[in-house]
Amino acid sequence: MSKYKKLIFVCTGNTCRSPMAEVIFRNLDQESDILVLSRGLVVLFGEPVNPKTEVVLNKHDLEIKNHISEGLKDSDIDDRTLILTMTNAHKIRLLETYPNAKNVYTIKEYAGESGDVVDPYGGTLVDYEECYIELARLVKKTIYKLNEEYEREI
């Protein structure tokens, strides 16, 4: 599909936005061989996905099974890894913590937009639904861009 072998979505705790983006991507792109993961920047111990995230995904006929939050590690990153963060602050922190990381963008930046994906944590189901709708749009744009890059390489 592209020059990337791995795509990692990154948020704060890996219980809301990044796992949601991972599930959306896997559902929309079932043809490529890119490894899709989600990670957090602040994961003190493994936690299941937020229950409201699960409700919203189920509402859209998507499942997230046995997800336990996981922090980003050096071993997750190589030159063929695309890392998409939910906010610019995540991107800055990631680049400070992992100076050898390349191909790091906010998901909106990669999709040709600006701004951050708002964290629904602590919010209502409506907040989680709005986050889902935004991530679904951004993930679609990400897939289109990855396909375009792949087409240019051939």
The 10s digit of each residue's pLDDT in 56-66 is 999 999 999 89
Is 135 part of any domain? Answer: yes
pLDDT band at 30 (very low <50, low <70, confident <90, very high): confident
CA distance 38 to 23: 9
Question: What average pLDDT does the chain have?
Answer: 95
Is 43 part of any domain? Answer: yes
Instruction: Find out whether 82 and 102 touch, Cβ atoms under 8 Å.
Output: no
The CATH number covering residue 42 comes to 3.40.50.2300
Is 97 part of any domain? Answer: yes
Instruction: Find out whether 128 and 55 touch, Cβ atoms under 8 Å.
Output: yes
Number of domains in the chain: 1
Catalytic residue from among 26, 80, 93, 119: 119
Catalytic residue from among 16, 17, 29, 131: 17
Please tell me whether residue 19 adopts helix, strand or coil conformation.
helix
| pLDDT, tens digit (0-9, with 9 covering 90-100), for 87-138 | 999 999 999 999 999 999 999 999 999 999 999 999 999 999 999 999 999 9
Looking at residue 63, what is its pLDDT?
Answer: 94
CA distance 26 to 28: 6
Expressed as residue numbers, the domain containing 97 is: 7-149
17 is catalytic: yes
Is 1 part of any domain? Answer: no
131 is catalytic: no
